[in-house]
Amino acid sequence: FFQKATKIILPIVSPTVFFLIINSLARSMMMSGLVIILTEGGRGGSASTMISYMYTQSVNSQNYNNGYAAAIVAFIITFILMLISFAFEKKYVNYDWLWGVDMDTITHEKRKKRFRSILFQIFAIIVGLLVLFPIIYCCFVSFMKPTQIQSIPPTFFPREWTIENYKTVLETTTI
């Protein structure tokens, strides 16, 4: 039974298990609704997650700098965990049985491949521009002082760079 499980069953279910692990990891990192509704962060913020802290700082306290700093820290932690998961995927997840042939032996016509490559590059540039601007703005705002973010006219770059927001986030939340 052990050989059957490791040689047949495990390779067949490995893509599904990988998807479930990635999905649950992402959902657990973004969990905030239950914490906010049921415990409001718990006693002394003991049940507060990074995302619930970001919400309370941004929405309730209107302290956008700390909220943005919490978002950046949560993004970095989630990104590192995803990179580790994908490193394990390359080694332990087997997709060859799905197609019945080795994926490396499948060839396409050069014209179709070039066209798809160009379309993908155009799509990636458009999506990259749409996604990166808010992230870059979030990064810059997280380094601003609270008085600067509400100044008129608004500024994109901080006048005085500070990491106090990150210190506050890392001291007051549980990772």
What does the pLDDT average to over 95-123?
65
Q: How many helices (H) and strands (E) does the chain have?
A: 9, 0
pLDDT number for residue 76: 85
What is the band of 96 on the pLDDT scale with cuts at 50, 70, 90?
Answer: low
What does the pLDDT average to over 130-140?
82
- Read off the tokens for 66: 């700390």
- pLDDT of residue 102 exceeding 60: no
CA distances 86 to 44, 93, 111, 164, Å, are 36, 10, 31, 33
Single pTM value for the model: 0.59
Determine the Cα–Cα distance for residues 100 and 96; give it in Å rounded to an integer: 7
> Which of residues 40 and 22 earns the better pLDDT score?
22
Helix (H, G, I), strand (E, B) or coil at 100: coil
Q: Contact, 25 vs 85, CB < 8 A?
A: yes
Q: Contact, 126 vs 56, CB < 8 A?
A: no
Provide the mean pLDDT of the chain.
76
